[in-house]
Chain A
Amino acid sequence: MLRVQSHDDHSAFAQLVSRWEEPIRRLCTRMVGDAHKGEDLKQEAFARLFAKRKLYQPTARFSTFLWRIALNACYDELRRVKRRAESALDVGGAEEGLDGMGLELEDPHSEAAGNEEAELVRRALMRLPEMYRTVLVLRHYEGLKLKKIAEILEIPEGTVNSRMAEALAKLTRLLEPQFQEPKTPMPRPREALVL
């Protein structure tokens, strides 16, 4: 990153992209619930990274800087979608979840489509408020420690813990009916859906 910052070294930047594009794409896909948008947001995140390269402080970890940029790109996209939905439907902001945010809860092009359980999970995550979804995605899917998440989000670790507890409680409420249903129609976690 230092070479990118001081010499505008494009080959060094290409190496950074190569190293980080998959984690960033996964994060963006899960934050917005759509693989195509996830790919676009990944591009947006790296464009922003290059534009903001001078702002990077070598005292902080590069990954923290990059996760933050990617998350901000996701938040911007979610806000854009919400504004569009509000202006189209003339609906006020929902207190919780994405019911009123216009996110495609029934997205036919969803990468989870075709696997019932995966689609349920995707929809449940999309119904969680951003702040809860963020901590869940970073911890469970990207394997970041709670302390690291606190550093990325610039909040105390205790706040991350309480958001995580709230996220898990809400998620469980959303998914709970599945736990009690008979397992016949539901594909067991026999294999992770690959899209």
Chain B
Amino acid sequence: MKHPNRDEWAPYVFGEAPAAEARRLEAHLESCEECATEIAGWQRSLKMLDSWAVAPRPGARNIVAPVFRWAVAAALVLAAGIALGRMTAPSAEAMRAEVEASVRTALAADLERALARSEARLAALGEENSRELLQTFSETLEAARTEDREAMVALIQEQQRVAEERLVNWRRDLETLALQTDQGLRQARFTMTQLAARDGNN
């Protein structure tokens, strides 16, 4: 029996042989125990090679895989929840009416609370503003009073100074007048004395 060349078996074993070639080799295997044994051995060896797997890099496996697993688990739980909810839910119309009423009540209560809060806030704001204005007014008034008082004191002091100055001047004038009067009297007395003496001599 003529056996095929060994290298003809390689494409056949890996499924790359053309169809006609593959049929020819298969036919030979059916009739040749020697070749069939050898090729079966090759195929067992190839199968055994699969046991040596090289893992992906640790970084990619440790980070991505758990995240993916958790995502899948979360999706499954969510889907189960939705399905359960749909199965146990009341009719859509009743649910809608109930939800609508509930939402209206809740909205009204919320609105009232919001209004009350706004009013209280405004009142508090007005009171606070008034207090501030009063405080400002008081401060301004006090400042004006102080300024007036200081101006008054300054004016009085000025008047006093002027009066004193005038008094000094008057006194000086009086003293000058008194001195001049005294001198006039002395001169008159002297003149009278001289006249008297002249009359006596005559």
Task: List residues of A whose CB falls within 8 A of some B CB.
Answer: 21-22, 25-26, 29-30, 35, 38, 111-112, 115, 117-118, 120-122, 125, 136, 139-141, 145-146, 158, 160-162, 164-166, 168-169, 171-172, 175-176, 178-179, 189, 192-195
B139 on the A face (CB < 8 A): no
- Separation in Å of the A107 CB from the closest CB of chain B? 13
Which DSSP category, helix, strand, loop or mixed, fits chain B's interface?
Answer: helix
B55 on the A face (CB < 8 A): yes
- Separation in Å of the B185 CB from the closest CB of chain A? 127
Q: Contact between B10 and A168 (Cβ–Cβ < 8 Å)?
A: yes
B54 on the A face (CB < 8 A): yes
B53 on the A face (CB < 8 A): yes
Q: Contact between B55 and A194 (Cβ–Cβ < 8 Å)?
A: yes
Q: Contact between B16 and A192 (Cβ–Cβ < 8 Å)?
A: no
B91 on the A face (CB < 8 A): no
Interface residues of B in 38-71 (CB under 8 A from A): 38, 41-42, 44-57
- Separation in Å of the B163 CB from the closest CB of chain A? 99
Q: Contact between A195 and B7 (Cβ–Cβ < 8 Å)?
A: no
Give the distance in Å from the alpha carbon of A145 to the alpha carbon of B10 in the complex: 11
Give the distance in Å from the alpha carbon of A166 to the alpha carbon of B5 in the complex: 11
- Separation in Å of the A159 CB from the closest CB of chain B? 8
B1-45 vs A, CB cutoff 8 Å, 1 = contact: the mask equals: 000001111110110100000000000000000000010011011
Q: Contact between B54 and A146 (Cβ–Cβ < 8 Å)?
A: no
User: Which residues of chain A have C-beta atoms less than 8 A from B44's C-beta?
Assistant: 172, 175, 179
- Separation in Å of the B45 CB from the closest CB of chain A? 5
User: Which residues of chain B have C-beta atoms less than 8 A from A117's C-beta?
Assistant: 48, 51
Q: Contact between A136 and B49 (Cβ–Cβ < 8 Å)?
A: yes
- Separation in Å of the B171 CB from the closest CB of chain A? 108
Closest 3 CB pairs of A and B: A161-B7, A162-B7, A192-B53
Q: Contact between B7 and A145 (Cβ–Cβ < 8 Å)?
A: no
User: Which residues of chain A have C-beta atoms less than 8 A from B46's C-beta?
Assistant: 140, 168
Q: Contact between B47 and A165 (Cβ–Cβ < 8 Å)?
A: no
Q: Contact between B54 and A26 (Cβ–Cβ < 8 Å)?
A: yes
Closest to B44 in A: A179
Q: Contact between B6 and A166 (Cβ–Cβ < 8 Å)?
A: yes
Q: Contact between A164 and B7 (Cβ–Cβ < 8 Å)?
A: yes
- Separation in Å of the B47 CB from the closest CB of chain A? 7
Q: Contact between A168 and B42 (Cβ–Cβ < 8 Å)?
A: yes
Q: Contact between A35 and B54 (Cβ–Cβ < 8 Å)?
A: yes
For B8, B45, B53, the residue with the greatest tally of chain A CB atoms inside 10 Å of its CB is B45
- List 11 other contacts, CB 8 Å, given A30-B54, A168-B46: A25-B54, A25-B57, A38-B54, A118-B53, A161-B7, A165-B6, A165-B10, A168-B9, A175-B48, A194-B53, A195-B55
**Residue A171 contacts which of B38, B45, B52, B55 (CB distance < 8 angstroms)?**
B45
17 cross-chain CB contacts under 8 A: A29-B54, A117-B51, A121-B52, A122-B52, A125-B52, A139-B14, A160-B10, A161-B11, A168-B9, A169-B6, A169-B38, A171-B42, A172-B45, A179-B41, A192-B51, A192-B53, A194-B53
